[in-house]
C-alpha cells in the first residue's frame, strides 16, 4: 500500500510539473494563433519564466509569459529586434504605478489577422509579455 501511495504522489508531481512548465525559457520562438514569433530568448538569452498562461477565445489566441530578471536594456533590445522585423508601435510607452507598458503589432500571415505584443515591465526586473493573434487592423500610434 505504501508503494502505491508513493507512485501516485510521484505521478501527481510529474503531472503538475508538466502543467506548470508549458513554456521553455530556452525556446527561440513562441507559437500563438498559428503564428511562430521570436521569443525573448532569441534576442537576450535565457531568463527564468515564473508564470505562463494560454487562452483561446472566439477569434483571439493569447500566450502570456512572465520573466524574472529582465533588465530594461534587454527588453528594449528585444523590442528593437521586433521593430526591425516589421512590427510598429501601436501604443507608446506609458508609466504605471509600478512600471511601464508598451505595445507593438503587425499584420499576421493570415489575411485579416494581426499580431499584438504587449509588454509590462515592473520596477525590480520582471517583465510580462503578452502575445495575441486575432482579427483586426494595425493602427500605428500617432507621432506627437
Burial class (CB in 10 A: 0-12, 13-18, 19+), 104: buried
* Structural contact between residues 32 and 62, judged by C-beta atoms closer than 8 angstroms: yes
What does CATH list as the number for 24-135? 3.30.160
Q: Collapsing DSSP states into helix, strand and coil, what is residue 46?
A: coil
Q: What is the pLDDT of residue 50?
A: 94
CA distances (Å), origin 47, targets 41, 42, 44: 7, 11, 8
- pTM exceeding the 0.85 threshold for the entire prediction: no
**How far apart, in whole angstroms, are the C-alpha atoms of residue 64 and residue 39?**
11
In contact, 75 and 47? CB cutoff 8 Å: no
Question: Do 108 and 35 contact (CB within 8 A), yes or no?
Answer: yes
Element (H, E) at 120: strand 113-122
Question: Residue-wise pLDDT tens for the chain (144 aa)?
Answer: 555 544 544 343 333 333 334 568 889 999 999 999 999 999 999 999 999 999 999 889 999 999 999 998 999 999 999 999 999 999 999 998 888 999 999 999 999 999 999 999 987 789 999 999 999 998 777 665
Cell of 140: 500605428
Residues 65/67/124/96 CA torsion (nearest 10 deg): -20
Helix H or strand E encompassing 83: helix 72-84
Amino acid at each position: 500500500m505504501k508503494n502505491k501511495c508513493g507512485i501516485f504522489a510521484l505521478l501527481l508531481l510529474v503531472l503538475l510539473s508538466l502543467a506548470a512548465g508549458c513554456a521553455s525559457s530556452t525556446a527561440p520562438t513562441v507559437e500563438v494563433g498559428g503564428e511562430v514569433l521570436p521569443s525573448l530568448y532569441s534576442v537576450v538569452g535565457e531568463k527564468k519564466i515564473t508564470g505562463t498562461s494560454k487562452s483561446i477565445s472566439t477569434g483571439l489566441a493569447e500566450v502570456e509569459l512572465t520573466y524574472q530578471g529582465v533588465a530594461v536594456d534587454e527588453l528594449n533590445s528585444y523590442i528593437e529586434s521586433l521593430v526591425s522585423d516589421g512590427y510598429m508601435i501601436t501604443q507608446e510607452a506609458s508609466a504605471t504605478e509600478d512600471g511601464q507598458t508598451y505595445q507593438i503589432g503587425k499584420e499576421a500571415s493570415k489575411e485579416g489577422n494581426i499580431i499584438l505584443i504587449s509588454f509590462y515591465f515592473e520596477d525590480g526586473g520582471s517583465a510580462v509579455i503578452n502575445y495575441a493573434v486575432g482579427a483586426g487592423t494595425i493602427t500605428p500610434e500617432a507621432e506627437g
